[in-house]
Amino acid sequence: MSQGYAIELYFDPALENQVLKAWNVLARRQISTQLIEIESRPHITLFSSPFIDPTKLENIVKTLASNQEPLPLCLSSIGSLPKDNNVLFLAPTPSLSLLHFHSKLCEAMKKEGVEIWDDYRPGAWIPYCPVAEEVPKGRMAEAFTLLRDLKLPVTGHAMDIGLVEFSPVREHFSFVLGNTLEA
């Protein structure tokens, strides 16, 4: 199991349920139960690092969240990353608002001396919502076929942003986008 931290965007309940449907279909067919087992939540990872000081990020994320309205999302395609541990994902159409939000986060973290790994740098970052991890190679095609039956695209909004530690997933903090009220 990998260890580390991630800053993640979370969805509105309807969009989250669409993603959970995919997780459950793949779990029922015993293709992948990984995300359910580590107690993850449907998300798009904006940044991840094996070592980070969570307290350093809290104010950055809080400030960014308060200045950002909920982000419209459209999960429109299915994909897999070649070098990853056989991850399958739903990918959002990369809207300007999503890409801009991500680059603002990276800028703010850089100012605080946080190192941004190549995969998460603006221009290299691939936004995606994982639906299966460690899919057996021989079952990739079957998993893709099941995901194609999901009636994409599914649309909604990114509503919250949080920092988690994994694995298993444990949330350190999260903030509602556009919520300027002090918690």
CA-CA distance, 53 to 93, in Å (whole number)?
Answer: 31
137, with CB counted inside 10 A (0-12, 13-18, 19+), is exposed
Helices in 67-113 by DSSP H: which ranges? 96-111
- What distance lies between CA 175 and its chain's CA centroid? 15
Give the model's confidence band at 9: pLDDT under 50 very low, under 70 low, under 90 confident, else very high: very high
- Sequence-distant (≥ 6) Cβ neighbours of residue 27 within 8 angstroms: 33, 36
What sign results for the dihedral spanned by CA atoms 177, 43, 6, 128?
negative
CA-CA distance, 108 to 130, in Å (whole number)?
Answer: 25
- What distance lies between CA 112 and its chain's CA centroid? 22
CA-CA distance, 64 to 82, in Å (whole number)?
Answer: 32
Give the model's confidence band at 183: pLDDT under 50 very low, under 70 low, under 90 confident, else very high: very low
Give the model's confidence band at 108: pLDDT under 50 very low, under 70 low, under 90 confident, else very high: very high
Q: Bin 30: left if φ > 0, else alpha if -120 < ψ < 50, else beta.
A: left
What's 69's DSSP letter?
P
Q: Which pLDDT tens digit goes with each residue over 37-55?
A: 988 999 999 999 998 889 8
> Does residue 15 carry a pLDDT above 80?
yes
* pLDDT at residue 119, as a whole number: 92
Task: Output the CATH code of domain 10-172.
Answer: 3.90.1140.10
Q: Which pLDDT tens digit goes with each residue over 153-162?
A: 999 999 999 9
Contact 172, 62 (CB under 8 A): no
